[in-house]
Amino acid sequence: MTSSSTSKFFLLSFILCILFQEHTHALKKTYIVYLGGHSHGPNPSLDDLDSATNSHYDLLASILGSHEKAKEAVMYSYNKHINGFAALLEDEEASKIEKNSNVVSVFLSKEYKLHTTRSWDFLGLEKDGGISLDSAWWKARFGEDSIIANLDSGVWPEHVSFSGIGYGPVPSKWRGNGVCEIDHFITSSNATTFCNRKLIGARIFSKNYEARYGNLNPANLTARDFIGHGTHTLSTAAGNFSPDVTIFGNGNGTAKGGSPRARVASYKVCWSKTDVAGCHEADILEAFDHAINDGVDVISTSLGGSDPYVEALFTDGISIGAFHAVAKNVVVVCSAGNDGPGPRTVTNVAPWSFTVAASTIDREFVSQISIGGKHYIKGASLSKGLPSGPSKKIYPMIHSIDARFLNATIQDARYCKPRTLDPSKVKGKILVCTRLHETTSIAQGFEAALAGAVAVFVINDEKSGSLLLAEPHPLPGASMDANEDDDIDEREWFGKGGTDNNITRRMLAYMSASTTYTGLKPAPIMAGFSSRGPSAVQPLILKPDITAPGVNILAAYSLGTSPSNLPSDPRRIPYNLQQGTSMSCPHVAGIVGLLKTLHPSWSPAAIKSAIMTTASRLDNTNQPIRDAFDKISTPFEYGSGHIQPNLATDPGLVYDLNTTDYLNFICASTHSQNLLKFFNETSFTCPEYYNIENLNYPSITVYNRGLNTINITRTVTNVGSPSTYVAQAQHPEEFKVYVQPNSLTFTKIGEKKTFHVILEVASVPPSGFPVFGSLRWTNGNHIVTSPIVIL
């Protein structure tokens, strides 16, 4: 063989070797092996942790053949409160592990997606810039020394919202040991620089993300937020009072979180190499294990899976993490998802999770849109308006369908997708796009700017309803509901049909500078994007649990990214307006922080009950809450209703639950006694029969089983003064509600009373389901309300 032939042979062999190795690696996926709880108790020693990890290696070695291979495969050993591990495995290896009798579940690690100056005024914690004496803020000392953890995209540590000035020593319950993984965090001096007495800890979890997308640049292995989402949500939950906040001159006021004096910790589980963040289950579960061990009081998780049908109790990382957190007295607040308005889209539906929907507040950012000089439409906008044009400040409009390249489809052009707009048709005009049912249309604004438009009007699609989102477009822009003006034919004026005679070609329009208005009525309105119930996993647990502000929310933002999250956007702002159940979730987490400070002995279920049973189903006009399509909303949209934090501090009665109740629920859900031995440190035996309808949940959901009567039980615990409560019912359509006994007398705090709710079919056979009603207990000072749903 010649020297040249030899070289070619070795080169070919090397390439084939590399390809084979890459193929072999590609066969391996990140699996989570869940083993339940640990036997070492709530305060494990280092030896306990080592023993747990070694047991994980032993289990995996029995499949892979050696400890060395097991150690190489294991990504995370969940050795503190959650028992299990994440490892790179082939499908066949995962199947073998699943057959082990000591394993609860084995499942692929899924990729999750990330699901204010005025909010707290709207929720009653302050009024016209002042804080009344009956505010939950005063009662709970502004959440002082509660510790709120945020599982998200990190934090911008220098932001004034997280300044440690004016705080006392870190609470002794914090066990984070000074971990502050921000930037070059190897030295302790940097930890002192970036973390403080407010931001008391920061951790990163990236192994699953890197296993899927490749190694991150070492400079990016930091809890610093380069997406903006984590900074926004964490400051909403517990940011400091920060005066003189605006966004492009709009919304002037003082930003603050729900528990502005709470301590915060950031657990970075969401990473990005592009404009879309990825949050991976194995990373999330490790973050849960650390947060529980660090001693936090509240965990806020504004993320979730995009497909609720694949979610199950113990093949879902958030459900597993939340179960173990709640068992250790940590409240876990989750976003419901942004996949509405269709039914059965709600995610994070475990009964131990606190699931939050999104609704509006009474503030709007408005520009007046003039079309043809005689029609005026309200547009949601943060823009300074259009500059003076060649003819009385008006500009020609063109719909994106008419502005498309010849090779672009009508469907893509309607939504102003990349490479669909012809600059020769757009330049100097106002471009009209249709919203692509998302919580942001900023990318459409960038496409408009690239094509030379002077402004962009984004028309709501059929799934958005009348909800108007104000967004930081790179050019003057507005979100519009074209159906607002009855004289306007949407198809004709805005080119919905894409016809050649589209008159946007010859229409002239103008947009004024945006103005901030408060006191808007009606409010709240349920957001079209907010995911709806019933739960696809377990319909007998009403989800979502509650609704809170999640539309046009102004909060702190990262200077490491633009307000649009687009790489081409050079802007940097310290506060940003965002939308989604990601924003409503930390509102509730902040309020939970207040209740943790005020009632430190209450269980997670008691805190959840206090918030749910004091919620309102009425808007600020005293009418039933409606949705973005002007229909009366139901508990499938808002759960128990709109959160009222001042009332939640003193609910009168609570529906309490403990780990045993949840284990009973698991028994009824899984029908497997064998699984239960892994969840408790002590032995647990499933009851012979358990009816999930009798889980002591603050809402009541039952199946219509064709019976004349349905009988369920609930137990309430008195957390107020001695008094007598009387039952009142709003009867579901074609049903009667009876309560036995219909009055309950309490003589002391902590006293429990059990009652029966009897649902009886009326004389007319039920015509359709679901139907809704409510039960409330009142003593003259308190009203304790539970929604009733008959499926």
- Give the residue, 599 or 709, on which the prediction is more confident: 599
Q: Look at strands 147-152 and 263-268 and give their pairing.
A: parallel
Element (H, E) at 715: strand 709-718
Determine the Cα–Cα distance for residues 381 and 91; give it in Å rounded to an integer. Answer: 50
Longest CA–CA span in the chain (Å) reads 101
For 169, which DSSP code? Answer: S
Best CA proximity match to 606, nearest among 531, 715, 520: 715
Q: Which CATH class is domain 364-518?
A: alpha beta
Determine the Cα–Cα distance for residues 634 and 632; give it in Å rounded to an integer. Answer: 7
Report the interhelical angle of 91-98 vs 46-64 (nearest 10°).
120
Q: Which amino acid is at 595?
A: L
Q: pLDDT tens digit string along 619-631? A: 999 999 999 999 9
Average pLDDT over every residue of 126-151: 87
For 752, which DSSP code? Answer: E
Name the fold adopted by 112-163+197-361+524-648.
Rossmann fold (3.40.50)
Burial 443-452 (b: 16+ CB within 10 A, else e): bbbbbbbbbb
Q: Residue 212: is its pLDDT beyond 60?
A: yes
Annotated catalytic residue: which of 145, 152, 294, 481? 152
Catalytic residue check, 473:
no
Best CA proximity match to 223, nearest among 192, 201, 197: 201
Residues of the chain with CATH 3.50.30.30: 364-518
Catalytic residue check, 229:
yes
SS3 778: strand
Determine the Cα–Cα distance for residues 452 and 475; give it in Å rounded to an integer. Answer: 10
Residues of the chain with CATH 3.30.70.80: 22-108
- Give the residue, 115 or 726, on which the prediction is more confident: 726
pLDDT-derived band at 234, boundaries 50, 70, 90: very high
Q: Give me the phi and psi of 210, to 5 degrees please.
A: -70, -35
Q: pLDDT tens digit string along 364-377? A: 999 999 887 778 88
Question: Which residue(s) pair with 761 in the sheet?
Answer: 735
Determine the Cα–Cα distance for residues 439 and 584; give it in Å rounded to an integer. Answer: 13
CB-based contact 333:151 (threshold 8 Å): no
Q: Where are the alpha helices (DSSP H) in 639-683?
A: 645-648, 659-670, 673-676
Question: Which residue(s) pair with 395 in the sheet?
Answer: 509
Burial 516-545 (b: 16+ CB within 10 A, else e): bebebebbbbbbbbbbbbbbbbbbbbbbbb
Q: Is 219 exposed, middle or buried (0-12, 13-18, 19+ CB in 10 A)?
A: exposed
Name the fold adopted by 653-657+696-790.
Immunoglobulin-like (2.60.40)
Omega before 522 within 30 of 0, i.e. cis: yes
pLDDT at 493: 53
Omega before 645 within 30 of 0, i.e. cis: no
Best CA proximity match to 473, nearest among 439, 494, 451, 449: 449
Q: pLDDT tens digit string along 56-73? A: 999 999 999 999 999 999
Determine the Cα–Cα distance for residues 735 and 729; give it in Å rounded to an integer. Answer: 11
Residues 590, 596, 598, 604: what is their CA dihedral angle, to the nearest 10 degrees? 110
- Give the residue, 433 or 27, on which the prediction is more confident: 433
pLDDT at 191: 47
pLDDT at 252: 87
Give, in order, the Cα–Cα distances in Å from 507 to each of 329, 494, 512, 607: 61, 10, 17, 56
Cα atoms found within 13 Å of the Cα of residue 237, Cβ hemisphere only: 36
Catalytic residue check, 587:
no
pLDDT at 485: 52
Determine the Cα–Cα distance for residues 720 and 744; give it in Å rounded to an integer. Answer: 13
Q: Give me the phi and psi of 443, to 5 degrees please.
A: -60, -35
pLDDT-derived band at 19, boundaries 50, 70, 90: very low
Q: Which region among 80-84, 186-190, 338-342, 537-541 has the lowest average model confidence (pLDDT)? A: 186-190
pTM of the model: 0.92
Annotated catalytic residue: which of 153, 161, 582, 603? 582
- Give the residue, 159 or 101, on which the prediction is more confident: 159
Q: Where are the alpha helices (DSSP H) in 671-782?
A: 673-676
Residues of the chain with CATH 3.40.50.200: 112-163+197-361+524-648
Beta strands in 443-564 (DSSP E): 455-459, 477-480, 508-511, 515-518, 525-526, 546-549, 553-556
pLDDT at 496: 44
CB-based contact 451:423 (threshold 8 Å): yes
Give, in order, the Cα–Cα distances in Å from 569 to each of 276, 421, 550, 552, 572: 15, 19, 24, 20, 9
Residues 6+ apart with CB under 8 A from 584: 335, 336, 356, 357, 358, 359, 530, 547, 548, 549, 550
Please count the helices (runs of H) and the strands (runs of E) in the chain: 21, 38
Determine the Cα–Cα distance for residues 695 and 706; give it in Å rounded to an integer. Answer: 21
pLDDT at 765: 59
Annotated catalytic residue: which of 56, 81, 229, 324? 229
Q: What percent of the chain has pLDDT over 70?
A: 87
Q: Which CATH architecture has domain 22-108?
A: 2-Layer Sandwich (3.30)
Share the mean pLDDT of the chain.
Answer: 88
Q: What percent of the chain has pLDDT over 90?
A: 68
Q: Which amino acid is at 791?
A: L
pLDDT at 294: 97
Determine the Cα–Cα distance for residues 581 and 558; give it in Å rounded to an integer. Answer: 19
Give, in order, the Cα–Cα distances in Å from 567 to each of 250, 279, 554, 596: 24, 20, 22, 40
Which tokens go with 318? 């958030």
Average pLDDT over every residue of 202-221: 91
Span between the terminal Cα atoms of the chain, in Å? 79
